[in-house]
Amino acid sequence: MWKDLPLYPEQASTIAQPVDLLYFFLIAVSAFFALVISVLIVIFASKYRKSRPDAKSAHIEGSTLLEVIWTVIPLGLTMVMFAWGTILFFDQARMPADALEFTVTGKQWMWKVQHPTGQREINDLHVPIGKPCRLTMTSEDVIHSYYIPAFRTKQDVVAGRYSELWFEASKLGTYDIYCAEYCGTEHSKMVGKVTVMTQQDYEMWLSGAVANETPVQAGERLFTAMRCITCHNSTSTARGPDLTGQFGKDVRLASGASVNFDAEYVRESILNPAAKTVEGFQAGLMPTYQGQLKEEDILSLIAYLKTLGADKSAQGAAAK
Amino acid sequence: MSSTLHTPAQHASATKGAKERDTYLTADYGWKSWLFTVDHKRIAVLYLISIMVFFLIGGTFALLMRAELMTAKGDLFEAETYNKLFTMHGVVMIFFFLIPSIPAVLGNFLVPIMIGTKDLAFPKINLLSWYIYLVGGGATLYVAITGGLDTGWTFYAPYSSTYANTNVAAAAIAVFITGFSSILTGLNFIVTIHKMRAPGMTWFRMPLFLWAQYATSLIMILGTPVLAITVMLLALERTFHIGIFDPALGGDPVLFQHLFWFYSHPAVYIMILPGMGVISEIVACFSRKRMFGYHFIAFSSLAIAIFGFVVWGHHMFVSGQSAYAGFVFSFLTMLVAIPSAVKVFNWIATLYKGQVSLETPMLYALGFIGLFTIGGVTGLFLAVMGLDRHVHDTYFVVAHFHYVMVGGMVMAFMGGMHFWWSKMFGRKYPEAMGQFAAVVIFVGFNFTFFPQFILGYMGMPRRYHQYNDEFTALNVLSSAGATILGTGFLMTIVYFLWSLKWGQKAPQNQWDAKGLEWEKAQSPPPTFNFEDGERIVVTEDAYAYTYEESHTGSGHEVKK
Amino acid sequence: MSDHAHSTTGLVHHFDDIEQQHEAGTLGMWAFLITEVLFFGGLFGAYAVYRSAYPEAFMRASSHLDVDLGGVNTIVLICSSLTMALSVYAAQKGSKRGIIMGLLGTMFFGAIFLGVKVIEYKDKWDHHLVPGDNFIFEGNPGGPEQLYFALYFAMTGVHAFHMIVGMVIICWMIKKAHRGDFTPGHHPLVENFGLYWHFVDIVWIFLFPLLYLIGAHSGSHT
Ligand code: HEA
Ligand code: HEA
Ligand code: CUA
Ligand SMILES: [Cu+2]
């Protein structure tokens, strides 16, 4: 039975192996201390076993030298763990620039995924091998957590925010996806499979799955359909600020502060425009779209706004 | 001794015979004399009974959970029932068993005796805190009976505030109420230790148990109010939908996590420091030796209490808090682990050249050292951000906290109960049974929780009602272990109860130990702890065990 | 803190002497006040988070409070602190009349404060500014303005609750003072209660600017 028990799940992403290495390092340190401690206990408890009822112990009050030693050595070791773990974590926190962009929406109790090319799937995820994939995730209700043990990665998915996760799959196969944050009755059924495929297979799969609009296309459609474009365009009479090329830049607010034009800010501007007013524009003019746009729509709008200005042709289309 | 509280005990003690002395247990009879007592020792007994009730309730929930987890399919209970089981298990075990366990039972009983005074500073407030605890506990049982609670003991919003269908508001109020009982206990201990030490009982003559209680009390009075306000906001949000934690209204669910862990991380030290205090007492007594590095152990308790307040973010590395916040929290968590390590090493050094004997309390103490070390170092795995991304919210975490809470604090509680049992009730527990049960519990414990480390690293998420087939073997092992563990606890409870009536009568100082509670107070002590009129004056350091002269002065051993 | 002041000597059985008993009482009170600081601290923390997230909404919402009433209440509370201090002074001097007058004064100002709060709460209720399903802010439902009002009610509500508790204790103390329980050598109850009352006032000194005075008041009352 023990032969079949692996000690770690499959290593199917580029970071799996570094994480396991760190894990083994910690096991080694722990095992060392556990061993030293239990051996000392056994030795002391037998060697200094009370001999006679009236036997007396030695007079020892302590030793500053020893205290220093057993403060400094563990401290040093924890600093190594800390540094190593932090480097790994920051590697995972920094998003690669050239990644495939997926969007994920968590909802009691399913995962809704959209591929960069527009295909959607529920619970499952298909990714090509050897390509960084970046997931922009939000929730429609409670907090969930997207967890792929084989990739050694997870990230909470919170309503009202965007969280991001990336990985680069390194081994073909099918692995589990779990929801790791408790989210209610069917929390343990909020699971799926991630399938790592070769580039060709992935493309085959994409062509097989019915492609909807891509997020950018959907965003562009919504931008017109929801009449954003009537105020946000680059004409001189526009009532709202020009959104072209804004994504990622800082915006000055009427209050004098400035905010970064990022996904969260766009979301807030759409759902709750009064929260922050752009310098030089009328507060309260932009209506709220609360209740009119779904989380996925907002994700699409964000995807579209990202491309605005990054790519001149898309900008032209919007401004006309 | 002019007192306005004319307890019958005093009248009785004036006329008492030389032989049959009055103890706090026999000073007075009838349920009223218990329910309206202000004697810290009786209150300790009241607490003991109540926390044991909650321990059995929480333990039963645990066994039901383990029964469900025997198979991969969720076939024994509905998913919802399972969720209620682990939630109630966590809430009951943490708030109604573990937090009050050592402070409210052993602490209540021993703090005044150990510093040589008659009672805690505020005896009525002490009684009040027990009643508050009962009201909170009653409210929790009410919630348990009327549909349960399914939010997890962490109450994360917005699930708890908006989506759960169970009685979250009532549960929040129950926790809110119970919080005050722990605040009042902490307040009482702090004032007592500051102001009521007997002449000669300087800070550095105090037994280390008192240092641990003092540090715990600091956390209780500084942390608990924040929990109170947090669950109050949760109850308001739940009832009136004011938006505080609701993202749809601009509220921030992650703020809830910050507020919750601001208390609940320090609270885990409420759940270990008193245990560490007990272990210090036991190790010194059963090595018949002065504590190695007394000052280091004393100050490490304070260090843990203080640093414990700045590491809460380590529960939230993947919650969406910024990576830089995580960086700081991870770093601080490493620092807070060091004082714990210092304690472990000092305990072991105390054994060196001692006169070690292995009665039941010592078995628990040595078990504690081993299990707490495992629990503690696996805490480091979690504090390392790169690893926590993988093991967060898996069974690895579950194993970690059971190792520290059950392997640590519950073992210390068991050790302490065996150590002071004769002091509390005047009877000895059967020693052979005690040792046997200690071994059963140790073995059962490891079978239950060690497999969960592996499960966790393999990726099994916690709070899962059903799981993938590949995890079955380890889960069965864990459930089997839980049965052994439960049997061990059951045995202990039975022989403790048995000994109350049939146990051998204990002498005043069963272990030939140092400390006022052994040297100056009978077993069980009289209502005012010490012989009438005796004013305790302390002239020795703690643990002044006699020693072999020949060993003094050799090398660096005697420094400090 | 009911353990003091039991009889004329007031020494409770487990203390060595009255001095130790007083010190214990005072330390207990300070420790209790520290828990109170943290209790409010949680609310102030939440306030800080949301105010920095929604500065403009907080300013807009704040302009719906009545600075005049808040200002009056601040003065009222300062007066009550003064009368409380006079009462403590009287207790030290052993003036039974002084204690009672001081306490009555404190009671009086406390009542005014609460009365004004009731008026303010009523006004919020009438304008649908009480968080919950009926909340409407300048014609819109929900939004961060509601958070402001949620915090406003939570903070001032908890504060008012402390005042009410304080006033109940005052009634009880007046009764005791009347009975002559406070002798010159024995007045820790009055002193400790004084600490409590000043603490409650200080909390308001923080609440007032944070809730009432955060800009945007200029002319937005129309
Ligand atoms: C008694 C309770 C208790 C105690 C004492 C601890 C102690 C510690 N805990 Fe634990 N913890 C919990 C109870 C406790 N914990 C609970 C209940 C949870 C989960 C809550 C939930 O989500 O439901 C949790 C979760 C938890 C997490 C979050 C995990 C997650 O959700 O992803 C983290 C992360 O850092 C952590 C870390 C630590 C650390 C570093 C310590 C340290 O204090 C440990 C220090 C001790 C040692 C290190 C051992 C002694 C040292 C040696 C013998 C020397 C060798 C050591 C070195 C080389 C340094 N704990
Ligand atoms: C003080 C704290 C404490 C204690 C003592 C325990 C004790 C135990 N816990 Fe605890 N546990 C928690 C605190 C604690 N737990 C917390 C905080 C959680 C997280 C909850 C959450 O996610 O919200 C948790 C979660 C948790 C889980 C994870 C659930 C999940 O995530 O899905 C599991 C699973 O095995 C478990 C098992 C056990 C077992 C087997 C014991 C055993 O040690 C219990 C032993 C006791 C008894 C068995 C009772 C005594 C004997 C009898 C009643 C007689 C009858 C028995 C027999 C004859 C066999 N606990
Ligand atoms: Cu979604 Cu758990
Ligand atoms: Cu913690």
Stated as kind and residue range, the H or E segment containing A142 is none
CA distance B472 to B483: 17
Distance from CA of A227 to the nearest CA of C (A): 21
Residue A173 sits in the same domain as residue A250:
no
Q: Hey, which chains touch A, using 3+ CB pairs under 8 Å? A: B, C
CA distance C59 to C52: 11
Residue A5 sits in the same domain as residue A125:
yes
- Does C143 contact A277 at a Cβ distance shorter than 8 Å? no
Distance from CA of B468 to the nearest CA of A (A): 9
The answer to whether residue C76 sits within a structural domain is: yes
- Does B355 contact A66 at a Cβ distance shorter than 8 Å? no
Q: Residue B521 CB: number of other CB atoms within 10 A?
A: 26
Label residues B215-226 b or e (16+ Cβ within 10 Å = b).
bbbbbbbbbbbb
Structure letter (DSSP) for residue A95: P
Asked if C144 has any chain A CB less than 8 Å from its own CB, the reply is: yes
Residue A118 sits in the same domain as residue A77:
yes
Ligand 3 cavity residues, CB under 6 Å: A 106, 109, 144, 179, 181-183, 187, 190
The answer to whether residue C186 sits within a structural domain is: yes
The pair of structure tokens assigned to B325 is 């916040």
Structure letter (DSSP) for residue A210: P
Q: Which atom of ligand 3 is nearest to the CA of A188?
A: 2
Mean pLDDT by 10 residues, chain A (320 residues): 68 92 94 93 87 76 87 94 94 89 92 89 92 93 94 93 93 94 93 93 83 81 84 81 85 83 87 82 81 84 82 42
pLDDT digits (tens), chain C, 222 positions: 344 444 445 677 778 777 788 888 889 999 999 999 999 999 999 999 988 888 888 888 888 888 889 899 999 999 999 999 999 888 888 788 888 999 999 999 999 999 999 998 998 888 878 887 778 877 777 678 888 888 999 999 999 999 999 999 999 988 888 887 777 666 788 889 999 999 999 999 999 989 888 865 544 443
pLDDT digits (tens, 9 = 90+) for A272-291: 887 788 888 887 788 888 87
Asked if C3 has any chain A CB less than 8 Å from its own CB, the reply is: no
From the CA of B313, how far away is ligand 4's center (Å)? Answer: 8
Q: What is the sign of the dihedral through the CA atoms of B91, B95, B99 and B105?
A: negative
The pLDDT value recorded for residue A49 is: 81
Residue A12 sits in the same domain as residue A154:
yes
From the CA of B463, how far away is ligand 3's center (Å)? Answer: 10
CA distance B112 to C14: 10
Regions of chain B short of the pLDDT cut 70: 1-21, 532-533, 549-560
Count up the domains in chain C and report the number.
1
The pLDDT value recorded for residue C10 is: 65
Residue ranges covered by each domain of chain B: 32-512
Closest-CA residue, ligand 2 atom 36, reads B62
Distance from CA of C129 to the nearest CA of A (A): 17
- Does A188 contact B464 at a Cβ distance shorter than 8 Å? yes
Cβ atoms of A154 and B318 within 8 Å: the answer is: yes
Stated as kind and residue range, the H or E segment containing B461 is none
Question: How big is chain C, counted in residues?
Answer: 222
The pLDDT value recorded for residue C186 is: 65
Residue A168 sits in the same domain as residue A293:
no
For residue B319, which residues of chain A lie inside 8 Å, CB to CB?
A: 143, 156, 158
The pLDDT value recorded for residue A50 is: 78
Q: Considering A165, A189, A212, which residue would you say is the last residue of a domain?
A: A212
- Does C143 contact A257 at a Cβ distance shorter than 8 Å? no
The range of the structural domain enclosing residue C115 comes to 38-218
Cβ atoms of A103 and A182 within 8 Å: the answer is: no
Count up the domains in chain A and report the number.
2
A304: CB partners within 8 A, 6+ apart: A215, A216, A218, A219, A220, A222, A223, A314
Question: Does the beta carbon of B16 sit less than 6 angstroms from any atom of ligand 2?
Answer: no
Q: Report the CATH number at residue C124.
A: 1.20.120.80
Residue A195 sits in the same domain as residue A249:
no
Q: What is the pTM of this model?
A: 0.89
Q: Chain-centre distance of CA C9, in angstroms?
A: 32
The answer to whether residue C167 sits within a structural domain is: yes
The answer to whether residue A205 sits within a structural domain is: yes
- Does C147 contact B251 at a Cβ distance shorter than 8 Å? yes
B517: CB partners within 8 A, 6+ apart: B110, B113, B114, B420, B423, B525
Cβ atoms of C173 and C62 within 8 Å: the answer is: no
**Torsion angles phi and psi, residue A57, rounded to 5:** -90, 175
The answer to whether residue C25 sits within a structural domain is: no
Q: Residue C120 CB: number of other CB atoms within 10 A?
A: 17
Q: Considering A212, A228, A256, which residue would you say is the last residue of a domain?
A: A212
Closest-CA residue, ligand 1 atom 10, reads B379
Q: Considering A172, A197, A212, which residue would you say is the last residue of a domain?
A: A212
Q: Chain-centre distance of CA A84, in angstroms?
A: 20
- CA neighbor of B476 nearest in space, from B66, B51, B162: B66
HEC readout, C61-113: HHCCCCHHHHHHHHHHHHHHHHHHHHHHHHHHHCCHHHHHHHHHHHHHHHHHH
Q: Chain-centre distance of CA C162, in angstroms?
A: 5
Question: Does the beta carbon of B67 sit less than 6 angstroms from any atom of ligand 2?
Answer: no
Instruction: Note the CATH number of domain B32-512.
Output: 1.20.210.10
Asked if C1 has any chain B CB less than 8 Å from its own CB, the reply is: yes
3-state SS class at A282 = coil
Nearest listed ligand to the Cα of residue B318: 1
Residue A199 sits in the same domain as residue A274:
no
The range of the structural domain enclosing residue A288 comes to 215-315
From the CA of B103, how far away is ligand 2's center (Å)? Answer: 21
Q: Residue A92 CB: number of other CB atoms within 10 A?
A: 24
Residue A93 sits in the same domain as residue A226:
no
Distance from CA of A108 to the nearest CA of B (A): 10
